[in-house]
A and B are shown apart, each in its own frame.
Chain A
Amino acid sequence: MYTPILATKLYVPRPRPGVVLRPRLIERLDEGLNRRLTLVSAPAGFGKTTLLGEWVAGCGRPAAWLSLDSGDNDPARFLAYLVAALQTIAPNIGEGVSGMLQSPRPPPTESVLTALLNEIDTVPDDFVLVLDDYHVVDAREVDDALAFLMEHLPPRMHLIIATREDPPLPLARLRVRGQLAELRAADLRFTPSEAAEFLEGVMGLSLSEEDIAALETRTEGWIAGLQLAALSMRGREDVAGFIRAFAGDNRYVVDYLVEEVLQKQPERIRSFLLQTSILDRLSGPLCDAVTDQEEGNVLLGALERGNFFVVPLDDKRHWYRYHHLFADVLFAHLMAEQPDQAPTLHRRASEWYEQNGLRADAIRHALAAEDFERAADLVELAVPSTRRSRQEATLLGWLKALPEELFRFRPVLSLHYVGALLSNGKLEGVEDHLRDAERWLDATSDTGERPEALSAEMVVVDEEEFRRLPGSIAMYRAGQSLVLGNVPDTVKYARRALDLVPEDDHFLRGAAAAILGLASWASGDLEAAHRSYAAGMASLQKAGNISDAVGGAIALADIRIAQGRLREAMRTYEHALRLAAEQGDPVLRGTADMHVGMGELHRERDDLEAATRHLLRSKEQGEHTGFPQNPYRWRVAMARILEARGDPDGALDLLDEAERLYVSDFYPNVRPVAALKARMRVAQGRLGEALGWARERGLSARDDLRYLREFEHITLARVLLARYKSDREERSIHEVMGFLERLLQAAEAGGRMGSVIEILVLQALAHQAQGDNPSALVPLERALTLAEPEGYVRVFVDEGTPMARLLYEALSHGVEPEHTRRLLAAFPVAESEQTASSRSRGPESELVEPLSARELEVLQLIAEGLTNRDAATRLYLSPHTVKVHTRNIFTKLAVKNRTQAVARGKAFGILSQT
């Protein structure tokens, strides 16, 4: 995982020696283990963290701990830390998930969580996960992740949330169901006896009972208040007088007491406390850098020993933090007393973090110092690694925090902004920042040398990125044009990028070539599309983006399928799966997409079982092993299997889902789901709805033909053909025939043999609909010839009974007999067309074995009422041979007598209906 993990965030706070033991609360936490969630919800300073630290040490279960901070509002970072926290108790957890988070295109948070939960399920022992300071979370995505976690909580995991405000979970429901254990302010505040134990035992004060009661009343048992009070009283002569004054004062407890505490400190400690209040973590060296002193380590140790609201963050005492409330008070003092100092302190902190390689913290403090130039420098250098760790939200947050005018002089940073926007799917702002970057480029020579006159104004920190700028700009211009649907510009810029990007910059070259391929695809130039896209994938593979190269196979295979090269498409998928396996990760992201594609090919070959197997395999692997398109593609593939199995309603439900889940992911939408739905409606006889779709899409048989509309147009031809079958208008069929001829020519010109086969099939059906079977056989024969070598089956079988009749007709004319027989065998017995005598066979539609030409002849004669003997005479055969044929016909049609054989023969369209 690229996210650098700060171990301090995972540190389980150890119980401090001499801490007040709170058996009543420990007991309730123990009991809470029987429920799903324990919520410790109370304002700052109620000892939530201390209590949980003490309980975890003795609860007898391993505990994973995560202290949240505002950076965890980036869901990618939150997940990275969640995994890291779980790894402290089960080192193998999250191995698969880490891979997903590293992926150049990370899956949705829920997919990552699902995978993580599956891995958690393998942990053999009960354990606890503590999310501390959950109130800092202010991001919907992270809240959603928590809700998802809660809904699917593995039985061995108990979740504990410590927070200042109730998390957005259905707490009332959990309460009613007895699934929630709660500790709130009323439970956490010190009872008088606990207050006494704390003040005397821990803080070493000896106080009268009245004094303790007065303090307890004044602070209302608020632990932070009591601790501050104790600090104020230490070493004081007149303790009773102090308590009287405190009790009689109206001031906010913290104001009153911090004033007291700070007043008592020597100046060097007081100023140390105020200056370091800008830090959310403290280490000796960092404090030295910020205060410009050299006793950070000593002071931090002393503050911790003195119970001074300093919390250790590790066992080695390298890192501490102030109690959050205390830090806020100190910072308020700093701002009130020396407001001008804060920027200087932040800048020093930023420098220290930069020198120590913690760039994100360096950027945070530079922004706090409002030193935007410095922040911009740091961000420019941090972009590549931040992008690799997929913290897009963090990155965009930084870029947005910078003043807009600053980008105008920073071409590299400007282009990074473009990248961040495009990868978040945003177009707004892209054009402006591209222009900002281009302005400088226009003024420089082609080699990327910086002319002297300009270098004074232009700011570039990352020189290497600057050298890549011409190519990067062209690549992003191409990407922008692709999103805008402007194919000519996409091609222009992608070509320019390929001219400009050096041979060894595999990532940029790969991205540009892939974009070029997508543009060619959208314009229907399939050969060029395949060539460019394949080159792009090869470059991405060289750049180490294996997952992209694997997932990219869906585009390559889609193109091959459009070309009618099914076998090559299958090889493309198989090659990609091998590539994934070679990485040692057979479920590498992208492999789920391969199984969906292979399922589609098996379906076309009518191996529905293999097709289903691949789809289930894809599902089992989980959506996180697929690219963004996979959820919708999976549903389309499954819908077509259901359709083939005779479940059109189930298929349509899935297509509805697919329509909702559709994402283009830059791919041209060559097979719109709505058109698929219209096809299924035609097959169901719901002609009105199908016509409605065509109207809605503004489709007409007179349209100009474009590749991107081809699927819709062929669908329209189907709709119009169905209309002719119902209205028998001469005009309709002429329209259909003319349209199909135009579509055929276009498909042939574009080398789209998949479409050619389908159009030929439709032409055959159109002739048949006019009762002209001899004309129908011409396109059918051509379709059969083209389809045979690639193993097409469903393109014929999906047409149902009319196609079965045509195929028998073809068979009787000796057209591709073996192939035709194989196709006929794939037709199911359509139940609705079964006669009464065969309906008793039940709903499971047996596949029919095709009859031989001779058997067909015999069946025809049986239908005409001839006896075996007469038939034998007519066919110049022996009666015995005819009897054998008759037996074979009965077996193949699964019938018992001549009457049933004739009925089934008619049902299949083998026999004329007369």
Chain B
Amino acid sequence: MPNRLDQPMVYQIRVKGHLNRRWTEWFGDVTITPEDNGETLLTCPLVDQAALHGLLRKVRDLGLPLISAIRVNPP
């Protein structure tokens, strides 16, 4: 994994509640995966940190309770 934070990266953002897949476009190319425990995993390829913050803003604007955001190895 590149360590530099200005490199493209993948984040997994976990929110509470099952989110419909129609939000894919609205979030801008995220993969929406509902989990059994009632949470949703948003897998987001992002170009940089600024893009991450933009995405978190969208989570905020939907009033989705944010559970975690972690950086993962690109698949």
Assess whether A255 is in contact with B19, with CB atoms less than 8 Å apart.
yes
Q: Which of A39-57 contact B (CB under 8 A)?
A: 43-46
B1-32 Cβ-contact flags toward A at 8 Å (1 or 0):
00000000000000001111111111000000
Contact with B60, one of A46, A164, A331 (Cβ below 8 angstroms): A164
Q: In the complex the two chains form, is B18's CB within 8 Å of A44's CB?
A: no
- B74 close to chain A: CB less than 8 A: no
Task: Give the residues from 32 to 47 in chain B that come closer than 8 angstroms, CB to CB, to chain A.
Answer: 34, 38, 40
Beta-carbon contact of B40 and A335 below 8 Å: no
Check if B51 is an interface residue, CB within 8 A of chain A: no
* Interface residue? B62 (CB, 8 A): yes
Residues 383-416 of A, flagged 1 when their CB comes within 8 A of B and 0 if not, give 0000000000000000000000000000000000
* Residues of the A chain whose Cβ atoms lie less than 8 Å from the Cβ of B18: 250-252, 255
Interface string of A243-276 (1 = CB under 8 A from B): 0000000111111000100000000000000000
Q: Which residues in B have their C-beta under 8 angstroms from that of A222?
A: 63
Q: Beyond A252-B18, A255-B19, is A328–B25 a contact (Cβ under 8 Å)?
A: no
Contacts of B23 in A (CB 8 A): 332, 336
Q: Please tell me if the beta carbons of A328 and B22 are within 8 angstroms of each other in the complex.
A: no
Q: Bound complex: CA of A254 vs CA of B25, how far in Å? A: 17
Within the complex, the shortest CB–CB distance from A4 to chain B, in Å, comes to 27
Residue of B17, B19, B21, B62 near A44 (CB, 8 A) is: B62
Residues of chain B within 8 A (CB-CB) of A325 are 61-63
User: Knowing A251-B17, A251-B20 touch, does A164 contact B61 (C-beta < 8 A)?
Assistant: yes
Closest B-chain residue to A222, C-beta based?
B63
Known: A250-B17, A251-B17. A332 touches B26 (CB 8 A): yes
Evaluate contact between A250 and B61: CB separation under 8 angstroms: no
**Smallest CB gap from A253: residue in B:** B17
- Do B19 and A252 touch across chains, with their CB atoms under 8 A apart? yes
Residue B67 interfacial (CB < 8 Å) = no
| Nearest CB of B to A362, in Å | 24
Interface residues of A in 205-260 (CB under 8 A from B): 222, 224, 250-255, 259
Instruction: Please name all residues of chain B whose beta carbon is closer than 8 Å to the beta carbon of A335 when the two chains form the complex.
Output: 22, 25-26
Q: Does B72 contact A (CB under 8 A)?
A: no
Contact: A324 with B20, CB < 8 Å? no
Minimum CB distance partner of B60 in chain A:
A164
Secondary structure of the A contact surface, majority rule: helix
Residues in A neighbouring B25, C-beta threshold 8 A:
332, 335-336, 339
Q: How far is the CA of A251 from the CA of B34 in the complex (A)?
A: 9
Kindly list chain A residues whose C-beta atoms are within 8 Å of the C-beta of B60: 43-44, 135, 164-165
B61–A328 touching, CB < 8 Å: yes
B20 cross-chain contacts in A, Cβ below 8 A = 251-252, 255, 259, 332
Shortest beta-carbon distance, A338 to chain B, in Å?
11
Contact B26–A328 (Cβ < 8 Å): yes
Tell me whether A254 and B62 are in contact (CB under 8 A): yes
A333 close to B (CB within 8 Å) = yes
Residues of A within 8 A of B24 (CB): 336
User: Complex formed: what's the CA distance from A336 to B24 in Å?
Assistant: 8
Q: Which residue of B lies closest to A258 (CB)?
A: B20
The 8 Å CB contact of B22, one of A250, A324, A336, is A336
Establish whether residues B38 and A44, one from each chain, have CB atoms under 8 Å apart when the complex forms: no
Task: Say whether B26 contacts A324, CB under 8 Å.
Answer: no
Of the candidates A224, A333, A337, the one whose C-beta lies within 8 Å of that of B63 is A224
List chain A residues, Cβ under 8 A from B34: 250
Given the contacts A250-B18, A252-B40, A44 and B63 also touching, CB distance less than 8 Å: yes
B62 to chain A, nearest CB (A): 6
Q: Contact at B38–A333, with CB atoms within 8 Å?
A: no
**Contact B61 A324, beta carbon cutoff 8 Å:** yes
Q: Given A250-B38, A251-B17, A253-B17: A333 and B62 within 8 A (CB)?
A: no
Residues on A with C-beta less than 8 A from B22 are 332-333, 335-337
CB distance from B24 to the nearest CB of A (A): 8
Q: Which residues of A contact B21 (CB under 8 A)?
A: 336
Interface flags, A322-350, vs B, CB<8A=1, else 0: 00110011011101110100000000000
* Shortest beta-carbon distance from A884 to chain B in Å: 87
- Give chain A residues whose Cβ lies under 8 Å from the Cβ of B17: 250-253, 255
Q: Are A45 and B61 in contact (CB under 8 A)?
A: no
Q: In the assembled complex, how far is the CB of residue A100 from the closest CB belonging to chain B, in whole angstroms?
A: 33
Contact residues in B for A46 (Cβ distance below 8 Å): 63
Interface centre among A135, A255, A337 (most CB of B within 10 A): A255
> In the complex, what residues of B have CB within 8 A of residue A324's CB?
61
Please indicate the chain A residues that have their CB under 8 angstroms from the CB of B64 in the complex.
252
**Min C-beta distance of A270 to chain B, whole Å:** 15
Complex CA gap A331/B61 in Å reads: 13
- Expressed in whole angstroms, the Cα–Cα distance for A615 and B75 within the complex equals 67
Question: Within the complex, what minimum Cβ distance (angstroms) separates B63 from chain A?
Answer: 4
The residue of chain A having its C-beta at the shortest distance from the C-beta of B59 within the complex is: A43
A250 to chain B: which residues have CB within 8 Å? 17-18, 34, 38
Residues of A within 8 A of B63 (CB): 43-46, 222, 224, 254, 325
List residues 150-178 of chain A with CB under 8 A from any CB of chain B. Answer: 164-165
Give Cα A897–Cα B60 distance, bound, in whole angstroms: 87
Q: Which residue of A lies closest to B15 (CB)?
A: A252
Instruction: Give A17-44 interface residues, CB cut-off 8 Å to B.
Output: 43-44
Chain A residue numbers with a CB within 8 Å of B26 are: 328, 331-332, 335
Contacts of B38 on A, CB cut-off 8 Å?
250
Most buried by A among B38, B40, B62, B64: B62
Q: How far is the CA of A164 from the CA of B61 in the complex (A)?
A: 8
Q: Within 8 Å CB of A254, what residues of B?
A: 62-63
Q: Which residue of A lies closest to B25 (CB)?
A: A335
- Most chain B C-beta atoms within 10 Å of own C-beta, residue among A135, A252, A333, A337: A252
Question: From residue A484, how far is it (CB to closest CB) to chain B in Å?
Answer: 31
In the bound complex, CA of A332 to CA of B21 (Å): 10
Name 9 A/B residue pairs within 8 A (Cβ), A-sorted: A43-B60, A45-B63, A165-B60, A251-B20, A252-B40, A252-B62, A254-B63, A328-B62, A336-B22
- List 9 A-B pairs, minimum CB-CB distance, nearest first: A336-B22, A252-B17, A250-B38, A43-B63, A332-B26, A335-B25, A255-B20, A251-B18, A44-B63
Chain B residues packing against A (C-beta within 8 Å): 17-26, 34, 38, 40, 60-64
7 further A-B contacts with Cβ under 8 Å, apart from A44-B62, A335-B26, are: A44-B63, A164-B61, A250-B17, A254-B63, A255-B17, A332-B26, A336-B24
